[in-house]
Amino acid sequence: MEKSSDFMLYTRIQQKEKAALEQLYDRYEKILFSFLYKMTEDRDLAEEALQEVFIKLWRGKGEYDESKGKFTSWLFTMSRNSAIDLIRKQKKPSVPLDEIGDLVSSETAVEELAEWQEQKDQIQEAVSELSSEQQKMIQLFYFKGMTHETISTMCNIPLGTVKSRIRLALSKLKKTLHGVQERGAIDDEY
Amino acid sequence: MMNTNCDHVVDYLNGTLTAEEKQTFEQHLATCADCRELVDAVGELPYLAEPAEPPVGMKSRILANVFEEEPQKQAEPKRPVEKEKTVPMVKPKARRSSWAPLIAAVLLLSLLGNAYALFKLADEQQPATESAFQSIELQPGEAFGGSAKAAIIQEEGSLEVVVQAEQLEQLQGDEVYQIWLLKEGQPVPAGAFTPDADQQGSAYYSMTENTEGWDTIAITREPEAGNETPEGEIVLSSEI
């Protein structure tokens, strides 16, 4: 339901309907800003990245269609790429490894955002089933937007291995998330 | 072939594919459920972020910039006629600010002249067009020291608003003084201005739609230009 209405909004945005863009903005402002802030660790940079995203949405021509997977995945990937571009332009020094936080935090306080919390619980559960090495790969690759080369240097792992470890980590994530979501769906029924 | 494409998923996610490779991979994505599921699963990761409170005014800043970024060719043809005509003196303060009150004054005189001529005309002949002129003194809100006068000239099919303000508090950053017309509490923007070095500011606004029934004029101090609804406090206002 959510997915098709996102897609409908996107279609209306393509037809230059300002209200549709604003509605999409309202729907995703909080999660996108939080995500971009996590990546950039800089509020101004996060805002700049978010602006890039919406400029692209407004001016882009039909880049998304449903064959590319979920709308949110596409939107988040585009957002992440905007943040990566900005981070790389800034050439911010890499965060030392020992300052890379945990992916799974013990307590969260998102009471008012029930939907977000539900998704967060599921993805946290799936991530917690990854090995710490795999979690680190995802943290560095996904949230820090590091290139394979940087990860290879930082973690002292051969370049080829970095890529296959990321792939394995993502594959396992996909499988466990499936399991978690299916279980969640069954729980919901009862 | 399939495997080679699947190999690209990490690079795709990391935005390191060339445009051509990206396109090829996206075609592959449409046919490979495995890769699509992987991309979707990764698409859940942002929910791991701790909620961060967006900066104040971010929404209006972003939306203003997004709609401003629109190529002019596309923006213009739709409604070429009744765009707002402000005398904003927003950016190049030093050079233009001293002219703005003068321009506004000239416009005001000219409009007064028009209104007068129309009144005369109306007296002498059967009224061909309805016309009304109103001069309004705006009342400052609590703790605001400035003052402003507005002239509202209504003719058949158009409404002109001229505002001149004095002793204004200086603005900070992107702030502007925004004029609003209100009808039963619903505001529409009617020009904006920033004060010059002498703390004066003025604006001229013309509308050709929805020209009747306004009951209030107000000026707010907005965090940035281009807001469609007021965010800042009302500093001056009056019934019309």
CA–CA separation, A101 and A174 (whole Å)? 22
CA–CA separation, A63 and B136 (whole Å)? 52
Q: Is it the case that residue A184 has pLDDT exceeding 50?
A: yes
CA–CA separation, B2 and A156 (whole Å)? 31
Confidence (pLDDT) at B74: 46
CB contact under 8 A, A127 and B48: yes
Condensed to tens digits (0 to 9), the pLDDT of residues A111-128 reads 556 777 888 888 999 999
Inter-CA distances, B160 with A108, B14, B183, Å:
54, 54, 16
pLDDT band at A100 (very low <50, low <70, confident <90, very high): low
What DSSP line would sit under chain B, residue for residue? -HHHHHHTHHHHHTT-S-HHHHHHHHHHHHH-HHHHHHHHHHTTGGGGSPP-PPPTTHHHHHHHHHHHSS-HHHHTTTS-S---------S-HHHHTTTHHHHHHHHHHHHHHHHHHHHHHHHHS--SS-EEEEEEEEEE-TT---EEEEEEEEETTEEEEEEEEESPPPP-TT-EEEEEEEETTEEEEEEEE---TTS-EEEEEEESSS-S---EEEEEEESSTT-SS--S-EEEEEE-
Strand partners, B159: B154, B207
Locate B211 and state its tokens: 């020209």
Name the residue facing A142 among B45, B54, B74 (closest C-beta).
B45
Mean of all residue pLDDT scores within chain A: 84
Q: Which of B48, B56, B76, B228 is the best substitution to test chain A (most A C-beta atoms within 10 A)?
A: B48
Q: What percent of chain A has pLDDT over 70?
A: 82
CA–CA separation, B138 and B166 (whole Å)? 11
Confidence (pLDDT) at B63: 94
B69 touches chain A (CB under 8 A): yes
Confidence (pLDDT) at A188: 60
Name the residue facing B55 among A43, A147, A166 (closest C-beta).
A43
Least confident of A7-16, A143-152, B22-31, B69-78: B69-78
Confidence (pLDDT) at B97: 44
pLDDT band at A172 (very low <50, low <70, confident <90, very high): very high
CA-nearest residue of chain A to B38? A174
CA–CA separation, A167 and B188 (whole Å)? 53
pLDDT band at A83 (very low <50, low <70, confident <90, very high): very high
Q: Is it the case that residue A109 has pLDDT exceeding 60?
A: no
Whether the Cβ atoms of residue A137 and residue A146 lie closer than 8 Å to each other: no
pLDDT band at A169 (very low <50, low <70, confident <90, very high): very high
The DSSP 8-state label assigned to residue A42 in this structure reads -
Confidence (pLDDT) at B135: 85
CA–CA separation, B22 and A26 (whole Å)? 29
Whether the Cβ atoms of residue B190 and residue B181 lie closer than 8 Å to each other: yes
A59: distance to nearest CA of chain B, Å? 7
B148: distance to nearest CA of chain A, Å? 33
Confidence (pLDDT) at A5: 86
Sign of CA pseudo-dihedral B68, B71, B72, B77: negative
pLDDT band at A1 (very low <50, low <70, confident <90, very high): very low
A164 touches chain B (CB under 8 A): no
Residues of A in contact with B61 (CB under 8 A): 47, 51
Q: Give which of B162, B160, B195, B163 is closest to B176, Cα–Cα.
A: B195
* pLDDT values of chain B reduced to their tens digit, one per residue, 240 residues: 445 688 888 888 887 888 899 889 988 988 998 998 899 899 999 999 988 889 999 999 999 999 985 555 444 443 333 434 444 333 333 334 445 555 566 666 666 666 556 555 555 544 444 567 788 899 888 888 889 988 888 777 788 888 888 888 888 888 899 999 998 888 889 988 888 888 888 888 888 888 888 889 999 999 988 888 888 888 999 988
Q: Is it the case that residue A102 has pLDDT exceeding 80?
A: no
B175: how many CB neighbours lie within 10 A of its CB?
A: 17
pTM of the model: 0.58
